[in-house]
Chains A and B, each alone.
Chain A
């Protein structure tokens, strides 16, 4: 932001000359003051003060106000990142103004010069504050976009995890020809129950399963939703032509099922997974025979 190029009316060359001759005294005062205000080392302050004074003199000498304003604004832009506040910037300008005037007044300055000096420094201040605000805006926007991308990353990671959990949460396992097991672990909500139902039905079709064993050993509690979904799953499976057997119902789950008044008449249940597998084998006219006693089997047959 370039400030308007206002020409100082008159006396600027004289003012510049006076300032130049007292530059060193002024410099010493300002260095002490600014170092304390900005919390910077004397060396840095000296550099800053000398540059600023040189620019001030140049601006006065040439009458071009931007000679001071532009570098000052540039400096403020840089400082914005380090956390410089607009207030300190104004105090710096004030200090520059005050100290300079003291020196000039001591050297027999003219009152009209004060006006010019103040105008010049005020212009530089405004430019600096503007630059600083802009820089801070940019900075904030950057932080914001960084934050946004971070949030987006997190959301993505979250989605991935959820997907993974979903995949893990409803494995449909083939244990024998035409026999599937669906082990349910952990609490089940509506969306998971729907997902489980879909996965199971697709698994039934792809494995052409005759029997599905739904193992709820790992389900700690059930509510109406879960039970309804279980019943629906069993019914849907039976529409496909697959028999379901519910195994591993714990005492608590059995109790709450009865309290919920669910009609479980159409659903076959067995005590545990083993009984479930036995049921499945029986339904398929299969039998597990011990290797040690093949003769007995033959004799019976």
Chain B
């Protein structure tokens, strides 16, 4: 990990991770971010991840692919991903580029994102762990 690459903070709230990207996403930053994130998911055994892109004005196809990758890999590791706060201009660019972030759940803002994630996790738990209800589970000792 080089020092001159800005690192994106990843916060833990309950059993979710929240990453709010406040800097411009360069390719290098994005790759570091991806590695960081997956490591954190592994370490914390988080059930969900909210990726807040409110501050991002430009998303190119590479970054879009990274986001898609992160969602997919996190899914493999048992964490559900919700992307929040995408700007209209960014959405238009992505659609016009033909980038489809399949399997990525979106929400308008961080709050709605967390609500959505809770719902998704609850639905997920219903199927996989029918007896365990969300909020009563200690993520460290399921």
Residues of A with Cβ closer than 8 Å to B? 197-198, 201-202, 204-205, 208-210, 232, 235-242
Contact = CB atoms under 8 A, between A and B. Distances in A.
Contacts of B95: 232, 235-236, 239
Contact of A201 (B88, B96, B105): B88
Contact of A241 (B90, B100, B106): B106
A228 B103 CA distance: 21
Contacts of A241: 83-84, 86, 105-108, 112-113, 116
Nearest to A233: B95
15 contacts: A197-B92, A198-B88, A198-B92, A205-B87, A208-B108, A208-B109, A208-B112, A209-B108, A232-B95, A235-B95, A237-B91, A239-B94, A240-B91, A241-B106, A242-B108
A33 to B, nearest CB: 79
Contacts, number: 54
B86 A239 contact: yes
Kindly list the 10 A-B residue pairs having the minimum CB-CB distance in the complex, ordered from nearest.
A201-B88, A241-B106, A241-B107, A236-B91, A239-B91, A236-B95, A232-B95, A241-B108, A235-B95, A208-B108
- Select the residue from A208, A239, A242 with max chain B CB neighbours within 10 A: A239
Interface residue SS majority, chain A: helix
B101 interface: yes
B94 A204 contact: no
B13 to A, nearest CB: 19
Contact of A240 (B86, B100, B116): B86
Contacts of B105: 241
A209 B100 CA distance: 21
Contact of B108 (A198, A232, A240): A240
Contacts of B92: 197-198, 201, 232, 236
Given A238-B106, A240-B108, A242-B108, A205 B88 contact: yes
Given A204-B108, A205-B87, A208-B108, 9 more contacts: A201-B92, A205-B88, A235-B95, A236-B92, A236-B94, A237-B91, A240-B88, A241-B86, A241-B105
A197 B96 CA distance: 12
Contacts of A232: 92, 95-96
Contacts of B108: 204-205, 208-210, 240-242
- Select the residue from B86, B90, B91, B96 with max chain A CB neighbours within 10 A: B91
A236 B94 CA distance: 8
A297 B120 CA distance: 29
Given A240-B108, A242-B108, A204 B88 contact: yes
Interface string B60-103: 00000000000000000000000110111011101110001100
A237 B90 CA distance: 11
Nearest to B84: A241
Nearest to A239: B91
B31 to A, nearest CB: 22
Contacts of B101: 239
Contacts of B107: 241
B54 to A, nearest CB: 10
A241 B106 CA distance: 4
A235 B101 CA distance: 10
A241 B110 CA distance: 11
